Each structure stands twice: as structure tokens, then as C-alpha cells.
Amino acid sequence: QVQLVESGGGLVQAGGSLILSCAASRSIFSRNAMGWYRQAPGKQRELVATMTSGGRKNYADSVKGRFTISRDNSKNMVYLQMNSLKPEDTTVYYCNRDPPRAGYWGQGTQVTVSS
């Protein structure tokens, strides 16, 4: 079964932290680069961070130094540690392969940062 399930979102004050988790089915995860993406209402979905199976990471300029992507290849899990959160980080976060596949988008997890 092809599945991506994101969790860990919530409401946090500016400057706070959250850890997002993504459980991926093996067919999606195995040996593939994975990424976190976000989409604000009325805007296009944007890349937040990606990570190859070998550990190479890439970040959007807007989150560099604040967010850290990681993965556990033995558990088919991808994580996003988000520190120093800002109100502009408020939106729904999704995980997917890198590059993303249209049929793999899950429900996402809402992150709300209050000022």
C-alpha cells in the first residue's frame, strides 16, 4: 500500500520548536530521496527540506539554520526538527519523495505559529 502519514504539527509560540514525523510505506521510502514541503492557502506548494538515502541534505533559504531534516531508513521514517519558528512558518506541511510524486501526497500536518 502506498502511503505517507504526517504527524507532529500543532500550535506553538514564535521562537518555539516542533518535530514533524512522516511514516512512509516501503515502496515510497526505499532508497529514495525524501522531502518536506509546505503549502500556504492560495500559494503553490514549496520545498522545505530534502534528504537523500545517503544523507545529503538540502534546505530552502527561508529555513536554513532553523530546520533539520533527518530520516531513519530502518523504520521508513522522515523527520523535520523545526526550531526558532516564525509566524510565517504557519501552514500545512507534507512529506513526499524528492522530486515529489502527485499520487503520494498525504493529508499533511498543520503547523501554526502565534506571534
Beta pairing, strands 77-82 & 67-72: antiparallel
Beta bridge partners of 28: none
Q: Residues 63-104: pLDDT tens digits?
A: 999 999 999 999 999 999 999 999 999 999 999 999 999 989
Taking the CA atoms of the chain, what radius of gyration do you get in angstroms? Answer: 13
Beta bridge partners of 4: 24
Instruction: Report how far residue 18's alpha carbon sits from residue 20's, in angstroms, rounded to the nearest whole number.
Output: 6
Sheet containing strand 34-39, strands side by side: 10-13, 109-114, 91-97, 34-39, 46-51, 57-59
Q: pLDDT-based confidence at 58, cuts 50/70/90?
A: very high
Instruction: Report how far residue 91's alpha carbon sits from residue 72's, in angstroms, rounded to the nearest whole number.
Output: 25
Q: Residues 1-39: pLDDT tens digits?
A: 668 999 999 999 999 999 999 999 888 888 899 999 999
